[in-house]
Amino acid sequence: MTKTGFKSTAGMVALATATVAIGTGALAEEKFKVYLSLSYSGNAWQSEAANIVKALAQTAPYNELVELEEVISGTDPQAQISAYESMIDEGADAIISFPISSTALNRTIKRGCDEGVLFFMYDATVTEECAYNVSYLSAGFGENSAQALVNELSGKGKIFLSRGVPGNSVDQRHTDGAMHIFNQYPDIEVVAEYYSYWDDRTTQQETAKALTAHPDVDGVWAQAGEYGAVQAMLDAGDRLVPMTGENSAGFRLALADPEMQEKGLTGVSAGSPPAQAGYAFKLAMEILTGKRELEPMNIEYPLPWVPADTVKVCEGDSYEGACNVFPESKVPTSFVSEVLNPELLPEVNVDSALNGTPVEGATIQPLPVDVTEAGNVPGINCTRCEAPDDLYKLTKIEATVQP
């Protein structure tokens, strides 16, 4: 494919689309070649994030402008490096990606940028300066959710840490933020720490193992897959404990269930929105089509924050009237509720998230003009940078228990 003349490092394009002669000389629009590059896959979060991008690529006018190809490379950084190299060699205009490492991919990304490829990372980040990172990493999930759990436990108790994927920048930033809070409270004891790969089933299995050794646990701090921790505790007995977790429909509905509350469940649903993938894709397309000029930067996606008393079940197939979770009759318990965003992604609905299908009659809507620049997190989204003094400041909750 012939490039369209843009330079990703300048955030500009020369043409909205390229044209090529075909047949008897008629002209036809040439589509932008965009790759959706996943590393880790296999859970609801990754599937929904990918499905949203697929649905948007099939929504007018993108359906006439984009040739989208999905590539899943797995958890080996070298495999994703090889995938990137192939995409660059095959003429990619943009690569929308969940990167498996914040540093291992940098050399290949720089090569792609030098050849005019736009790199948009979502959720996980890289430290190569020519890439765009769309994430909520600096919005404070780890520290805010940890403080919420400390507040629920009145500053003392045994807790589990249910983490994500080893070596991933998202997991590391969340855990660093959480431990910044927990370490201030000497009566909070982390008695088990395990990787659950952001998956309900794995979380259930790993939490069950931890419960065997520590049946008297007082609280659980979890990343995605948190509903599996609820199930593990119910399997072990009729007792639940305060938990903080991400955005699964099962967990969000459980937080508002009086029966679960009677068993001891309290907490907050926050965490990573799969909608970041759709936001990254739309930003990239606005650059490719000349509708936006944006230098490579770290872009912050807002942190969702849904305590139990604000859970509201939706009646339709999109988020209307401040609802924030779909009922079990519409989605599986693993469905990640923050996959939709009425402001940034009004074109898609629950069926888009589940199946990658566009909404009939929908058209792509422009994004808000302004983007929020994310804070520096050395080694995660930047290299030659310094972390702000208030890196782990609380933005969603106040400490009701003093260290």
pLDDT at 167: 80
User: pLDDT tens-digit profile of 199-215?
Assistant: 899 999 999 999 999 99
pLDDT at 285: 98
- Domains, in order of start, for the chain: 29-136+273-304+339-355 (3.40.50.2300), 140-269 (3.40.50.2300)
Cβ atoms 142, 391 nearer than 8 A: no
Mean of pLDDT over the chain: 91
- C-alpha–C-alpha distance, residues 314 and 28, integer Å: 43
Query: Alpha-carbon torsion 143, 128, 339, 343, what sign?
Result: positive
- C-alpha–C-alpha distance, residues 123 and 403, integer Å: 31
pLDDT at 15: 33
pLDDT at 75: 85
User: pLDDT tens-digit profile of 318-361?
Assistant: 898 899 999 999 999 999 999 999 999 999 999 999 999 999 99
The angle that helices 44-57 and 275-288 make with each other, rounded to 10 degrees, is 30
pLDDT at 29: 62
Tokens 């948190």 belong to residue: 226
Tokens read off for 357: 């299908």
Tell which phi-psi region holds residue 267, choosing left (phi > 0), alpha (psi between -120 and 50) or beta. Answer: left
pLDDT at 240: 98
Higher pLDDT, 122 or 318: 122
Count Cβ atoms within 10 A of the Cβ of residue 373 and give its class: 0-12 exposed, 13-18 middle, 19 or more buried: exposed
Name the helix (H) or strand (E) containing 66. strand 66-72
Q: What percent of the chain has pLDDT over 90?
A: 83
Q: What percent of the chain has pLDDT over 70?
A: 93
Mean pLDDT of 295-318: 94
pLDDT at 21: 29
Phi, psi of 294 (to 5 degrees): -150, 120
Pairing of strands 243-245, 267-269: parallel
| Number of residues assigned to the chain | 403
pTM for the structure as a whole: 0.86
Identify the band that residue 268 occupies on the pLDDT scale cut at 50, 70 and 90.
Answer: very high
Residue closest to 62 by CA, chosen among 348, 253, 261, 265: 348
Identify the band that residue 46 occupies on the pLDDT scale cut at 50, 70 and 90.
Answer: very high
- C-alpha–C-alpha distance, residues 245 and 229, integer Å: 9
Question: 14-18, 60-64, 353-357, 384-388: which range is least confident on average?
Answer: 14-18
- C-alpha–C-alpha distance, residues 45 and 75, integer Å: 15
DSSP string, 171-217: HHHHHHHHHHHHTT-TTEEEEEEEE-TT-HHHHHHHHHHHHHH-TT-
Listed in order, strand segments (DSSP E) in 231-368 are 243-245, 267-269, 298-300, 306-307
Q: What amino acid occupies position 91?
A: G
pLDDT surpasses 90 at 108: yes
User: pLDDT tens-digit profile of 135-155?
Assistant: 998 899 999 999 999 999 999
Which 8-state DSSP code applies to residue 124?
Answer: S
Could you tell me where the DSSP H helices lie in 58-199? Answer: 62-65, 77-89, 106-114, 141-152, 169-182
pLDDT surpasses 90 at 292: yes
pLDDT at 39: 85
pLDDT surpasses 50 at 9: no
pLDDT surpasses 90 at 17: no
